Amino acid sequence: MKTVEMLKVAKEVLQNSYSPYSKVRVAAVMVGEDGSITGVNIENASYGLTVCAERVAVFKAVSEGKKNFYKMLIYSPDVMPYPCGACRQVLSEFFPEDFEIIVTDGREEESFTLGELLPYNFKL
């Protein structure tokens, strides 16, 4: 799936974001051999229980037995949605250092490998 198609999917699922506290809506789309899967951020009044879009997508994939993905697009029309440290660590648990991460607000776009975003990940 091309980046432009991933962005279209992200914009479609963004309406499912539950972000009444931060007002920052985020959608993530992963693609790979196992097809595509999406996630949106889901906030909670107890902020520590909030889950980012990236982790929602990864957890959905893993819970469905899918782990063969090679890239993720993270989109927010509200900010440049760079993945937080927790998301970077979760991604490193399931994907290799060359996993591509595209970050966009719909106007600007940046691309990184997971290894660039988390060069010293924690692995057992």
CATH of residue 86's domain is: 3.40.140.10
What's residue 85's pLDDT?
95
How many domains in the chain? 1
Is 124 among the domain residues? no
Is 123 among the domain residues? no
With b for 16 or more beta-carbon neighbours within 10 A and e for fewer, the 84-123 pattern comes to: eeebbebbbeebeeebbbbbbeeeeeeeebbeebbeeeee
pLDDT higher than threshold 80 for residue 124: no
- Cα–Cα distances in Å, from 96 out to 70, 84, 105, 106, 124? 8, 18, 25, 26, 14
- Name residue 116's amino acid: E
pLDDT higher than threshold 90 for residue 58: yes
* Catalytically active residues, by annotation: 54
Is 32 among the domain residues? yes
What's residue 123's pLDDT?
80
pLDDT digits (tens, 9 = 90+) for 74-97: 999 999 999 999 999 999 999 999
